């Protein structure tokens, strides 16, 4: 336990690092997880790890810098046409979920598949350039009188399903209308679960559009979960007639069937959803771990009522419609149910369960959820079932570099209402990483981490230069030591790391680069999806 520091919370808002005497043991329970490889099956054990690449260094270079022997190719960029209807790849690429083309037959095809990509936000400044609108005099309150701009903003957000294939050594977008399609700011989407049709969502059973799609995950039945994070588009961008209660949910999309309705699952609560990491409880129900990406917000899990059926895909489509949402209280090391019927603290402040779920942040505080330092991505370790949570930062508390916390559910069961936890790695000069955001595991249990901060040559992040991608062993001699795999172009955040099952390709998104990857008619850096190849990613 020498390198492991335990975190305890002195109160609900202040964190103190203290050494503790007990450790997190490896879980013996069901470690089945959905977000990496092999259709949710842990794929091969083995002692991690040394990096199979020579790490790169921090740099200001305006390029996606990779270790010697690795190369990238761009698969799709903002504005690229993806189908014969003329629909375009959206902006601000985030989250990449790769589905082997033979997923539904249980296959692990690593050179052809479907990819779901999130498009996190619009970039109105860039669109004004394209439309010849003077940004200096533009007022967002008047957006309704700029219908072309509003249309571009609505088309830029949501997500894309694209068919991709490796040909002659490079990954290409396949123009295939059977698959390629957009979910955007106008798509009709069904609400499911307790808040559907409720007063809390102003009676809505169907809403229009998905927004703020940050990270997410893959379900055990091969659909994508896309998480709505910052959704205040009325106040942020001036979208007219905007109902905030229709956004801030977890969205489920079937990449294989364009006819399946896109759904927002209200049972998973409404907040600034970063991601959704799915696993199974001992008795075969589904667990979904979720972060609320804001300083002083909480860490959640959802447990379904129904059990996962590995033999019948269709039977799983309503699993996320009913279950229990919990919030973590770190001081008590307990999960607390946000259940109106059984909790008097909720009964005195909320009208019903729909109200609790629609205002999950307030409900979490009412029952003692611990305020954390921007809970972003969560992943379940493929071998031991521990749960890794990225806390990006909380500058208001002087936590500028964040940390990654590892939770161990009691008895190795995700259904357990208690847990222990420790800091896996703290950001800052000692570790060399800062502001951890998206996480992804490889089959050996190495944790891949991307960073989210904005360095200038004279701010607190100056020494870290451009945002990077790191591989961190979670066991063995290099436990907790970050190895830098990539450095992003200037001004960007690298997002959405996802490995193919054979671990010969790493997909990444380059989000909001300053000037890198422009194109004729697009005189600015374009967000894009890239495929990285050249060597092994784990050994
Ligand atoms: Fe959209 Fe949580 O970063
Ligand atoms: Ca993120
Ligand atoms: Ca992730
Ligand atoms: Ca982020």
pLDDT in tens, 377-428: 999 998 889 999 999 999 999 999 999 999 999 999 999 999 999 999 999 9
Q: Which residue, by CA, sits nearest to atom 1 of ligand 1?
A: 214
Encode pLDDT of 47-64 as tens digits: 546 788 999 999 999 999
- Secondary structure element (H or E) that encloses residue 124, with its range: helix 124-131
Ligand 4 centroid from CA 169, angstroms: 31
Q: What is the DSSP letter of 136?
A: T
CATH number of the domain encompassing residue 219: 2.120.10.30
> Does residue 150 form part of some domain?
no
Ligand 1 centroid from CA 8, angstroms: 25
Q: Is 155 in the pocket of ligand 1 (CB under 6 A)?
A: no
What's the whole-number mean pLDDT along residues 330-359? 98
Look at residue 29 and tell me whether its pLDDT is greater than 80.
Answer: no
Ligand 4 centroid from CA 380, angstroms: 19
Considering every ligand atom, which ligand is closest to the CA of 379?
A: 3
Confidence at residue 8, expressed as pLDDT on a 0 to 100 scale = 26
Q: Residue 327 — pLDDT band, cuts 50, 70, 90? A: very high
Q: Is 229 in the pocket of ligand 1 (CB under 6 A)?
A: yes
Look at residue 7 and tell me whether its pLDDT is greater than 90.
Answer: no
Please state the atom number of ligand 1 nearest to the C-alpha of residue 120.
1
> Does residue 497 form part of some domain?
yes
Look at residue 9 and tell me whether its pLDDT is greater than 50.
Answer: no
> Does residue 510 form part of some domain?
yes
> Does residue 132 form part of some domain?
no
Full domain range(s) for residue 512: 3-122+157-534
Q: Is 91 in the pocket of ligand 1 (CB under 6 A)?
A: no
Please state the atom number of ligand 1 nearest to the C-alpha of residue 376.
2
* Nearest Cα to Cα of residue 194 among 356, 319, 304: 356
> Does residue 147 form part of some domain?
no
Confidence at residue 34, expressed as pLDDT on a 0 to 100 scale = 54
Look at residue 14 and tell me whether its pLDDT is greater than 50.
Answer: no
Q: pTM for this one?
A: 0.92
Please state the atom number of ligand 1 nearest to the C-alpha of residue 272.
2
Please state the atom number of ligand 1 nearest to the C-alpha of residue 230.
1
Neighbours of 231 (CB within 10 A): 25
> Does residue 139 form part of some domain?
no
Query: How many domains does the chain divide into?
Result: 1
Ligand 2 centroid from CA 70, angstroms: 25
Q: Is 376 in the pocket of ligand 1 (CB under 6 A)?
A: yes
Ligand 3 centroid from CA 440, angstroms: 5
Look at residue 45 and tell me whether its pLDDT is greater than 80.
Answer: no
Ligand 3 centroid from CA 382, angstroms: 13
Look at residue 485 and tell me whether its pLDDT is greater than 70.
Answer: yes
Please state the atom number of ligand 1 nearest to the C-alpha of residue 495.
3
Q: Residue 3 — pLDDT band, cuts 50, 70, 90? A: very low
The rounded percent of the chain whose pLDDT value lies above 70 is 91
Confidence at residue 18, expressed as pLDDT on a 0 to 100 scale = 25
Encode pLDDT of 244-267 as tens digits: 999 999 999 999 999 999 999 999
What's the whole-number mean pLDDT along residues 123-129? 98
Considering every ligand atom, which ligand is closest to the CA of 229?
A: 1
Ligand 3 centroid from CA 35, angstroms: 7
> Does residue 399 form part of some domain?
yes
Q: Is 274 in the pocket of ligand 1 (CB under 6 A)?
A: yes
* Nearest Cα to Cα of residue 55 among 487, 529, 507, 424: 487
Q: Is 377 in the pocket of ligand 1 (CB under 6 A)?
A: no
- Secondary structure element (H or E) that encloses residue 233, with its range: helix 233-237
Alpha-carbon distances, residue 280 vs 308, 357, 419 (angstroms): 8, 22, 16
Look at residue 40 and tell me whether its pLDDT is greater than 80.
Answer: no
Look at residue 283 and tell me whether its pLDDT is greater than 80.
Answer: yes
Ligand 1 centroid from CA 282, angstroms: 31
Q: Which residues neighbour ligand 2 (ion) by CB within 5 Å?
A: 214, 437
Neighbours of 366 (CB within 10 A): 19
230 or 17: which carries more pLDDT confidence?
230
> Does residue 25 form part of some domain?
yes
What's the whole-number mean pLDDT along residues 2-10? 27
Alpha-carbon distances, residue 224 vs 219, 275, 532 (angstroms): 6, 11, 22
Confidence at residue 395, expressed as pLDDT on a 0 to 100 scale = 94
Whole-number mean pLDDT of the chain? 91
Taking the C-alpha atoms of residue 486 and residue 495, their distance in angstroms, rounded to an integer, is: 12
Look at residue 366 and tell me whether its pLDDT is greater than 80.
Answer: yes
Taking the C-alpha atoms of residue 251 and residue 161, their distance in angstroms, rounded to an integer, is: 14
447 or 535: which carries more pLDDT confidence?
447
Burial class (CB in 10 A: 0-12, 13-18, 19+), 256: middle
Confidence at residue 450, expressed as pLDDT on a 0 to 100 scale = 98
Considering every ligand atom, which ligand is closest to the CA of 439?
A: 3
Confidence at residue 23, expressed as pLDDT on a 0 to 100 scale = 33
Encode pLDDT of 145-181 as tens digits: 999 999 999 999 999 999 999 999 999 999 999 999 9
Taking the C-alpha atoms of residue 98 and residue 113, their distance in angstroms, rounded to an integer, is: 7
Q: Residue 33 — pLDDT band, cuts 50, 70, 90? A: low
Confidence at residue 84, expressed as pLDDT on a 0 to 100 scale = 97
What's the whole-number mean pLDDT along residues 455-482? 94
Q: Which residue, by CA, sits nearest to atom 3 of ligand 1?
A: 214
Taking the C-alpha atoms of residue 267 and residue 324, their distance in angstroms, rounded to an integer, is: 7
Q: Is 529 in the pocket of ligand 1 (CB under 6 A)?
A: no
Look at residue 21 and tell me whether its pLDDT is greater than 50.
Answer: no
Confidence at residue 282, expressed as pLDDT on a 0 to 100 scale = 94
Examine residue 49 and say whether the peptide bond preceding it is cis (omega within 30 degrees of 0): yes
* Lowest mean pLDDT across 43-57, 263-277, 525-539: 43-57
Please state the atom number of ligand 1 nearest to the C-alpha of residue 274.
2
């Amino acid at each position: 336990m020498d390198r492991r520091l335990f975190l305890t919370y002195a109160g609900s808002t202040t964190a103190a690092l203290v050494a503790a005497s007990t450790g997190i043991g490896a879980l013996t329970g069901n470690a089945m997880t959905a977000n990496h490889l092999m259709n949710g099956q842990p794929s091969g054990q083995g002692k991690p790890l040394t990096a199979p690449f020579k790490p790169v260094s921090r740099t200001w270079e305006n390029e996606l810098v990779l270790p010697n022997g690795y190369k990238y190719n761009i698969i799709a960029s903002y504005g690229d046409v993806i189908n014969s209807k003329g629909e375009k790849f959206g902006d601000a690429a985030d989250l990449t979920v790769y589905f082997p083309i033979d997923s539904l037959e249980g296959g692990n095809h690593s050179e052809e598949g479907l990819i779901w990509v999130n498009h996190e936000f619009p970039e109105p400044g860039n669109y004004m350039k394209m439309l010849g609108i003077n940004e200096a005099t533009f007022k967002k309150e008047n957006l309704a009188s700029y219908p072309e701009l509003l249309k571009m903003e609505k088309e830029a957000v949501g997500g894309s399903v694209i068919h991709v294939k490796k040909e002659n050594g490079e990954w290409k977008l396949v123009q295939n209308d059977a698959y390629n399609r957009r979910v955007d700011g106008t798509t009709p989407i069904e609400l499911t679960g307790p808040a559907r049709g409720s007063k809390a969502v102003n009676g809505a059973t169907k809403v229009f559009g998905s927004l703020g799609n940050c990270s997410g995950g893959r379900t055990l039945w091969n659909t994508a979960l896309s998480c709505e994070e910052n959704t205040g588009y009325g106040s942020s961008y001036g979208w007219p007639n905007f109902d905030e209660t229709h956004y801030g949910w977890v969205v489920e999309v079937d990449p294989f069937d364009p006819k399946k309705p896109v759904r927002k699952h209200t049972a998973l609560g409404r907040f600034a959803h970063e991601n959704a990491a799915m696993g199974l409880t001992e008795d075969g129900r589904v667990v979904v771990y979720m972060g609320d990406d804001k300083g002083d917000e909480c860490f959640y899990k959802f447990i379904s009522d129904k059990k996962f059926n590995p033999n019948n895909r269709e039977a799983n489509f309503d699993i996320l419609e009913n279950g229990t949402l919990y919030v973590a209280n770190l001081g008590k090391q307990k999960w607390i149910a946000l259940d109106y019927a059984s909790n008097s603290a909720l009964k005195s402040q909320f009208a019903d369960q729909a109200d609790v779920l629609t205002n999950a942040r307030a409900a979490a505080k009412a029952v003692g959820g611990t305020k954390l330092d921007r809970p972003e991505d969560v992943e379940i370790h493929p071998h031991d079932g521990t749960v890794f949570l990225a806390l990006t930062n909380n500058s208001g508390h002087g936590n500028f570099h964040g940390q990654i916390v590892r939770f161990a559910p009691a008895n190795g069961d995700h259904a357990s209402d208690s847990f222990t936890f420790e800091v896996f790695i703290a950001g800052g000069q000692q570790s060399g990483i800062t502001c951890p955001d998206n996480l992804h595991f490889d089959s050996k249990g190495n944790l891949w981490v991307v960073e989210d901060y904005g360095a200038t040559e004279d701010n607190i992040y100056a020494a870290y230069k451009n945002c990077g991608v790191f591989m961190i062993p979670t066991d063995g001699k290099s436990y907790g030591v970050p190895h830098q795999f990539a450095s992003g172009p200037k001004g960007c955040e690298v997002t959405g790391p996802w490995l193919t099952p054979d671990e010969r390709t790493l997909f990444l998104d380059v989000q909001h680069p300053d000037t890198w990857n422009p194109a004729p008619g697009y005189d600015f850096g374009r967000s894009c999806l890239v495929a990285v190849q050249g060597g092994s990613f784990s050994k």
